[in-house]
Amino acid sequence: MRAVPLPAEYIAPAPVEELSVRSADGIRLHVEVHGQPGAPTVVLAHGWTCSTAFWAPVIRQLADRYRVVAYDQRGHGHSEIPPSRARYSTRALAEDLSAVLARTVPVGEQAVLAGHSMGGMTIMAAGGRPEIADRTAAAVLVSTGPGELVAELAVLPQAVRSPRLRRFLHRQLLRSRLPLGPVSPASRVALKYATMGPGSPAGQVEATARIVHACPTAVRANWAGVLDRLDVHAGLARLAAPTSVVVGAVDRLTPPVHAHRIVAELADAQGLLLLPGVGHMAPLERPVEVAAEIHRMAAAYLSAASVPMSVPAPAAASASERNAVA
């Protein structure tokens, strides 16, 4: 098997600080701080089977003007693996986010939260928690959904027409305990089909494969059980911060139907950004646009004095790609 070179933009930058944070149940979380000390803070929460490395190209876009905090969800990356299935839950996700914010965002200050996939579910699950709301200026939910994930999965071809059979097979795929093994040509093809847009170049696919394959099999399966039963609609309804939504037009794991549901349920929806040709891994596939959306929300909702507005934002998506939400 020939190794695929990894372009520099997908290599995780060295953090300026690394922290070890204990969550409410004692699980140790690995936290990285990038960018400019003293600058406005952006907090990044990654998705299922990923790690802080997933945010590398977005961090590179934001680090010149923000203090960027990224953390490994429990069981992922360098964070501690929970000792039992009982430690995997949406409540645990919310408590982990609370612990990270308490350590990295001082009392009286606020940050913009951005979550991809399970990271977005984390932010929704935390909706209504006062200790999180007090530290949140705005949020960006990327490629995510509040529930009904198995029912809306679009991984299987349309030739499988029976809704019941599709749900059954999708559930088996989601909860599989088969080890992924080393990255191979076949696994790259499968992963690209399931998680990325058809135009994704080899470097993006390789970066995604290395990150996903690094997730321990048991961690992947235990979180899949949580995602199978996911319902964070109640937290979503209590999410008071101004929130924007980003989704890839060809996302098979959390199709755009979820983004529209989120916008309809948000208390303060600030727009839906649809990225043509993009799959589930939007922060890796289109980091410039995702970073620009985070910057847009930071510029609008963090203290005007703390955001360097004289610095031009990354190139944003065209007006035709954005659906404004009143």
Q: Determine what percent of the chain is predicted with pLDDT higher than 90.
A: 76
Question: What digits encode the pLDDT tens for the residues 28-73?
Answer: 999 999 999 999 999 999 999 999 999 999 999 999 999 999 999 9
The C-alpha atoms of residue 206 and residue 14 are separated, in whole angstroms, by 20
Question: Which one, of 208, 222, 230, lies nearest residue 285 by Cα?
Answer: 208
Strands of 269-275's sheet in order across: 17-22, 28-35, 67-71, 41-45, 111-116, 136-142, 243-248, 269-275, 322-323
- Residues whose CB falls within 8 Å of the CB of residue 303, separated by 6 or more in sequence, listed in order: 40
Residue 22: beta bridge partners? 28
Q: What is the pLDDT of residue 165?
A: 64
Q: Is the pLDDT of residue 158 over 80?
A: no
Q: What is the pLDDT of residue 177?
A: 72
Question: CA-based Rg of the chain, rounded to a whole angstrom?
Answer: 18
Q: What is the pLDDT of residue 181?
A: 77
What pLDDT band is residue 166 in, cutting at 50, 70 and 90? low
What pLDDT band is residue 169 in, cutting at 50, 70 and 90? low
How confident is the model over 285-312, as a mean pLDDT?
79
The C-alpha atoms of residue 60 and residue 196 are separated, in whole angstroms, by 21
pTM given for the model: 0.90
- Check the CA dihedral 131-135-140-143 and report its sign: negative
Question: What digits encode the pLDDT tens for the residues 222-281?
Answer: 999 999 999 999 999 999 999 999 999 999 999 999 999 999 999 999 999 999 999 999
Strands (E) in 92-150, as ranges, are: 111-116, 136-142
Q: What is the pLDDT of residue 4?
A: 74
Assigned fold of 8-149+230-323: Rossmann fold (3.40.50)
Q: Which two tokens stand for residue 61?
A: 């876009």
Q: What is the pLDDT of residue 3?
A: 66
Domain ranges of the chain: 8-149+230-323
Q: What is the pLDDT of residue 311?
A: 39
Place of tokens 């989120």: 262
Question: Which one, of 143, 141, 147, 168, lies nearest residue 156 by Cα?
Answer: 168
Averaged confidence pLDDT in the chain: 89
Q: Is the pLDDT of residue 138 over 90?
A: yes
The C-alpha atoms of residue 217 and residue 101 are separated, in whole angstroms, by 28
Question: Which one, of 37, 93, 91, 87, lies nearest residue 65 by Cα?
Answer: 37
